[in-house]
Structure 1
Amino acid sequence: MRRLGVLLASVALAAGTVASQATPPASAATRAALPAHALVGYLHASFANGSGYVPVSEVPDSWDVIDLAFGESASATSGQIEFTRCPATECPNRESDADFLAGIDAKRAAGKKVLLSIGGANGEVRLTTTAARDAFVDSVSAIVDRWHLDGIDLDFENQSLSLDAGDTDFTKPTTPSIVNLISAVRTLKSKYGNGFVLTAAPETFFVQLGYQHYGPGPSGAQDPRSGAWLPVLYALRDDLTLLTVQDYNSGPIMGLDDQYHTMGGADFHIAMTDMLLAGFPVAGDTTTVFPALRPDQIAIGAPATANAGNGYVPPATLDEALDCLTKGTSCGGYQPRGGAHPDLRGLMAWSINWDLYGGGEFAGNFDTYFG
């Protein structure tokens, strides 16, 4: 996930970690389920990024899942995750800690889910050791407890996940950083119960590119990050609430029609989402298939505005993609192998801040489309 809007410079985060408190999140029994169609958005909680700071209490009701961006690692391999609120010098309208917590509690009382998003473009996390795995679990738990959160969003990008040489079977990974991440998430899920919300927002490079390339490949010449999210998604498929692949900031990706699809049109969203709905052979091996996810586990990720990232499409184009994937109409030249799924969960946007900066068009279109 990019912090940067187009043509905007990066911003610095203040150092420090929010202290843990003993108040646990609500039990699974008290948590409302996601609506049949959900709108997911990232909230710039630790930086402003040119789009302005938005207090939690001012997030419009359209947003069903609010991802607080970002929890980041103290160092790439420590596993120690820190969540630092935006400094007042950068976000002069930032609410107090007490009001921030009250805003989270109010959103949750209204049936919304508030999550800690971990990683982002600048937040490299590599759990290369069991000590890092344990530090990840402990530090994430402290943040979840401190802010009464419903769960976590994994936004591991850049160098966070890659596959070691010889790690060729996505169903039985051997790379320590991947094995330890799976173990850490399972521990968190077990600790908080079935109501713990788990979402993931990988880039296409780490998921759909796996149709062509997986890891370093037989010759060792490929990018070891190719398809590196697949073993994590496979292992956690029964625990995963939502997969919101970033259909933006992406190069051309081959779809199940064996044609390359590029950002900027409905067919990119259609082809990339269809791969998740239909499943696909990994690295071209028809005997090794990444299985389809349930449509209720999938939300399409898109930039809220042209300023938010590469790959923005206007609402009418996004609606074409939704028509194809949910109704089987307006598919153009691509016919989904996975069929039409009216129970596709919905949309994800980078970000709530950018949508409000642009007049709320993304959320408004979601509300109109899904009623």
Structure 2
Amino acid sequence: MGKLMRGALAATALMLGQAAGAQTYNAGIAEVGADRATLPQGQSVGVFATLRNLQAIGIFTVHLEVLRDGAASPVHTLQCRTPELATGGQYRCAGSFSAGTPGTYRVRARAGTIDGSGAIFPGSSGTPGTRVSAAFTVSGNVTPPPVSPPAGAPGADIVIDSFGSPERYNQRHQNLLGGYTDDDGSLQHDMAVGGALQLRSAGSGYWYSVLAKSTCLDASKMAALKIVAKASQAASLQLSLGTGAGGCERSTASSAPVTVQLGTGYQEISVPLNRFQLASLAQLQSVVLSGLQAGVDYGIQSLSLVATSDGLPPPQPPVGLPAKVVAGYWPYWPVAPVRIRDVHPNYNVIYLFHARPEGGAPGTTGAVVWTPPGDGRGAATNFVADIQHARTVQGRKIILSVGGAGHGMSFPTRTKSQAFVDSVVALYNRLGGFDGLDWNTFEADQAPDTEEMIWISLELKRRYPGFIITSPPAPWSTRDQVFCQAMVRAGAMDYAAPQYYDGPGLADPAYVAENIRTWVQLLGAERVVVGFGVAAATNYMTIDQAVDAWQRVKAQYPQLRGGFDWQIHTDESQGWPFATRMKPLIQP
């Protein structure tokens, strides 16, 4: 009894001991904002903030305040208490505010304790304890809410609903676009409560929201359908989009449903619009939620269409691996790198090197960051356009390489793995799409977290059919061999490319011919690519040595997938010897 009581008191201390002076806990605000930039006086606007736990498992308070420029105190306040969050875990607090006075408004969010003291955490440099949103404007003229942003408007997300107004949803059945929204009449529960739509099914039925009435919604410059949702237990949910014609009064066709997996805490899931496999995104009529599991309580905080950056078309999906690979690594760091579209045409795979762990190795959150290249020849200015030109016009594959020397990553938890996936998805959308991911995160003392890396790889392949997963392991490393074999057996890796350079003896053609046998026996020849380093440097090959090494291994294993060169910039500076001499041998 005494032991149990001590445990209960310790748990209470965990919950209530989050005073500002306690160093065990820390949290910050990852984002804060309103779901509309302008609105007429008298209408409601959704306000939201996302709290991120920065240190130690705990429970927190999100303080939301709506501020009007010139007012001495907040004109509206809202508080949310988070569930217990692991380090790096996030919670979204959302509500609504009815603006009665014209003016300029902002939303302030603060990450606080739950002990009633009102103490606010300091947060971190990237995730401060207090964050204020960009301004939104309330005008004095009442006008109908817009159905969609102006055609071609870059970066304009379309919020379908944030469910912050129970009266609007429960009585008028209207979403933020002015469209009708309801269930098919068979759901056990369908109501907006506490800033979220609550749904429950007996095992059939669906919920829908009309995106437009008088004209279809043009989503041709949108990237993804985003849902913030949870379930009372681990459960699935199906999303689909309907298209219309003419006046768009009804749906005339529907996409195949896309299944997403929900946990017991709110999570943000973005489904690229290309996954719905619609012939056109310019005629959207509705979004439908179906496949609700019987007896499960679903909570939906928001639904929105996410815009592409700069108003570019939606990301183009990957289309699979070339029969023979002639690849090269393209580091971002030269001051004037060759533009992607101007890389020698004999390269059919280009590795973007490299995305790195946020916060440094082994990663603080699991997310990765990308640094734009030097712009001496326009590589940065034309980066996104060049990537898509290389993919769609030149027929090349663009693969994002993650990690590299000094940039290892660990994935000890699913939370960190999910953050990695989310950041890759964000980069995918930001760059207009790419074709794969290259695991370069395990090197030196950083061992691979095989189980989580399998999950991440399969999740990316699930999201993007045809997505390529590769890795450049150390040729001699038993650890790397075991990892790559496990990945291939799980269907989570397309090929491994051992690096025969940058180490004593590795660039010897005789060693390459001997060592490649181990990799072929483990993975099969069609899943092995040979990694070359052709440069005038110690432990690198001359082009003649690279040709010799390839001819030796090709004679033994004709089905080898191909070869790569580190790095493209060096090959260019030497007059493209790898591209011109190796390509005819690898891909006759």
Is 1:250 the counterpart of 2:478 in the alignment?
Answer: no
Match of residue 95, structure 1, among 374, 379, 382: 379
* C-alpha spacing 1:96/1:273, structure 2 compared with 1 (3 Å): same
Q: Matches of 2:530 and 2:337 in 1, distance apart?
A: 25
Q: Report the Cα distance in structure 2 between the residues aligned to 1:33 and 1:120, rounded to whole angstroms.
A: 23
Q: Distance in 2 between matches of 1:361 and 1:199?
A: 24
Letter in 2 for 1:121: A
User: What corresponds to 2:25 in structure 1?
Assistant: none
Q: Which residue of 1 aligns with 2:459?
A: 187
Across the aligned residues of Structure 1 and Structure 2, the Cα RMSD in angstroms comes to 2.6
Match of 2:440 among 155, 162, 168: 155
**Is the counterpart of residue 202 in structure 1 residue 202 in structure 2?**
no
Name the CA shift for 1:246/1:33 in 2 (closer, same or farther; >3 Å): closer
Higher strand share: 2
Q: Deviations for 1:111-160, whole angstroms, at most 9, x for unmatched residues? A: 11001110011322111222211100100111122211111111124357
Counterpart of 2:528 (choices 277, 298, 320) is 298
Which residue number corresponds to residue 270 of structure 1? 513
Distance 1:66 1:21 in 2: 26
1:347 counterpart SS class = strand
Q: Which of residues 219, 234, 254 is equivalent to 2:486?
A: 234
Are residues 1:313 and 2:541 paired?
A: yes
CA distance in 2, matches of 1:360, 1:228: 31
Cα deviations by residue, 1:80-106 (Å, 9 ceiling, x for unpaired):
1011103x5xx4334344x21111111
Structure 2 gaps of 5+ residues are 1-124, 127-154, 156-305
CA distance in 1: counterparts of 2:488 and 2:508, whole angstroms: 31
Q: Matches of 2:544 and 2:438 in 1, distance apart?
A: 28
| Alpha-carbon shift at residue 200 of structure 1 (Å) | 0.8
- The higher relative CO (CA closer than 8 Å, separation ≥ 6) is in 1
Counterparts of 2:578 and 2:424, CA distance in 1: 30
Normalised TM-score (structure 1) = 0.67
Paired residues of 1:296 and 1:345 also in contact (CA < 8 A): yes
Change (3 A) 1:232 1:346: closer
Would you say 1:352 and 2:546 are equivalent positions?
Answer: no
Matches within 5 A, 1:59-208: 59-75=343-359, 76-77=362-363, 78-86=365-373, 88=374, 91-97=375-381, 99-109=382-392, 110-147=394-431, 148-159=433-444, 161-162=446-447, 177-193=449-465, 195-204=466-475, 208=476
- The alpha carbon displacement at 1:107 in A equals 0.9
Q: CA deviation at 1:306?
A: 2.3
Determine the C-alpha separation between the residues in 2 that align with 1:228 and 1:33. 22
Provide the identity percentage. 23
Contact 1:244–1:298, Cα closer than 8 Å, also in 2:
yes
Residues 154 and 24 from structure 1, CA distance in 2 versus in 1: closer, same or farther, beyond 3 angstroms? farther
> What letter matches 1:234 in structure 2?
A
Deviation at 1:66, TM superposition (A): 0.4
1:232–1:130 Cα change, 3 Å: farther
C-alpha spacing 1:24/1:293, structure 2 compared with 1 (3 Å): farther
Secondary structure at the aligned position of 1:199 is classed as strand
Aligned AA (2:316): A
Q: Distance in 2 between matches of 1:188 and 1:102?
A: 23
In the alignment of these two chains, the number of paired residues is 275
Equivalent-residue separation in structure 2 for 1:115 and 1:242 (angstroms)? 13
Residue 16 of structure 2 aligns with which residue? none
Q: Bigger radius of gyration, 1 or 2? A: 2
CA contact (8 A) 2:320 2:468 kept: no
Paired residue secondary structure (2:499): coil
- Give the structure 1 partner of residue 178 of structure 2: none
How far residue 199 of structure 1 moved from its aligned partner, in angstroms, is: 1.2
Aligned residue type for 1:301: G
SS at match of 1:60: coil
Structure 1's unaligned 5+ residue stretches are 1-14, 164-176, 211-226, 252-261, 279-291, 328-339
The structure that is helix-richer by fraction is 1
Contact 1:126/1:160 (<8 A) preserved: no
